[in-house]
């Protein structure tokens, strides 16, 4: 398929739809067939502020996740803390003068 005579002439305004620079021009900057496969992407204006509400969402998302998981780890943590506190106090008592005197016979 040959391009039409208007596309091969020099009087075509460049920049119009489907009008390209002729092959005869300096540097062969264009082509006479329409370009295909050119994809352009754009970003909508309401998606450009990527940190909008980030601090607010971080606070409330953290609270939501914390409140959903706290009953899984808080009771064992408290139990372990009180067991360790009791063991430390018991060890200090047994190694004190009063503890040695109380359990000296056994």
Residue 70 and residue 64: Cα distance in Å, rounded? 10
pLDDT digits (tens, 9 = 90+) for 68-100: 999 999 999 999 999 999 999 999 999 999 999
Total-model pTM: 0.47
pLDDT, tens digit (0-9, with 9 covering 90-100), for 19-61: 555 545 454 455 556 566 777 778 777 777 878 889 999 999 9
pLDDT tens sequence across 61-73: 999 999 999 999 9
Of the candidates 37, 39, 34, 10, which has an alpha carbon nearest to the alpha carbon of residue 22?
10
């Amino acid at each position: 398929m040959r391009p039409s005579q208007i596309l091969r002439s020099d009087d075509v305004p460049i920049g119009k739809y489907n009008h390209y620079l002729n092959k005869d021009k300096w540097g062969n900057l264009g082509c006479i067939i329409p370009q295909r496969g050119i994809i352009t992407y754009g970003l909508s204006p309401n998606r450009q502020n990527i940190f909008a509400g980030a601090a607010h969402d971080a606070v409330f998302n953290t609270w939501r996740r914390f409140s959903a998981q706290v009953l899984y780890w808080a009771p064992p943590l408290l139990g372990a803390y009180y067991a360790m506190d009791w063991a430390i106090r018991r060890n200090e008592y047994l190694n004190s003068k009063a503890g040695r005197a109380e359990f000296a016979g056994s």
